Amino acid sequence: MKAWLGLGANLQHPVMQLRQALSDLGKADGIEVLRVSSFYSTPPWGDEHQEDFINAVVQIETSLDSLALLHALQAIENVMGRQRNGRRWGPRVIDIDVLLYGDQVINSTELSVPHPRMHERAFVLMPLVELHRGIEIPGWGRAEALLSGLDCDGICRLGEGALK
């Protein structure tokens, strides 16, 4: 199954955190990293009193069902030091979200796909559209059309030199 993941971090050298998460994803059983977007510097969303985030989107192929994938991603976050302290949209060392799982719509107590609010977040849609211009978000439409209606101020694609 092809799936799309969103990565974000704004603590402890966020570019390095995303690189580590990508490395860990590549080593995880049942997950093959197919493509990775550019990294983007983005202003915080929701809780604006914190450092900017570095965000990216990853396309994977997985043999895991959706919940097993979620648990594998949470295990990577835990090993990397992710703290779930109850502060919604707060600072974090890493965040790995299941954005899309094939074209499935999933609503369970543990997982909602498409990821809730992804259709309103330019920092998710911009790297997603970079990888796949015509991608459809079930129930919402084309990501490119959704992105065109959002405020992209402050979102900056990092150049190759910034990632080394």
Domain residue limits, the chain: 2-163
| Residues acting as catalytic residues | 82, 92, 95, 97
What pLDDT sits at residue 44? 85
pLDDT confidence of residue 160 = 59
* CATH superfamily of domain region 2-163: 7,8-Dihydro-6-hydroxymethylpterin-pyrophosphokinase HPPK (3.30.70.560)
**Is the overall model pTM greater than 0.85, yes or no?**
yes
Question: CA of 17: how far to CAs of 8, 94, 95, 97, 119, in Å?
Answer: 9, 7, 10, 15, 25
The answer to whether residues 111 and 97 touch, using CB atoms and an 8 Å cutoff, is: no
**63 alpha carbon, distance to own chain's centre:** 19
> Per-residue pLDDT tens for 97-135?
999 999 999 999 999 999 999 999 999 999 999 999 999
Closest CA to 60 of 106, 22, 93, 20: 22
Q: What pLDDT does 164 receive?
A: 47
Q: Which of 122, 116, 147, 149 has the alpha carbon at shortest distance from 134?
A: 147
- In the predicted model, what is the mean pLDDT of the chain? 91
Nearest Cα residue to 153 out of 119, 123, 118, 116? 123
Residue 163 has pLDDT above 70, yes or no: no
Q: Which residue has the higher pLDDT, 83 or 118?
A: 118
Strand, coil or helix: 136: strand
pLDDT number for residue 47: 65
Q: Which two tokens stand for residue 160?
A: 């190759």
For residue 123, list its beta bridge partners.
none
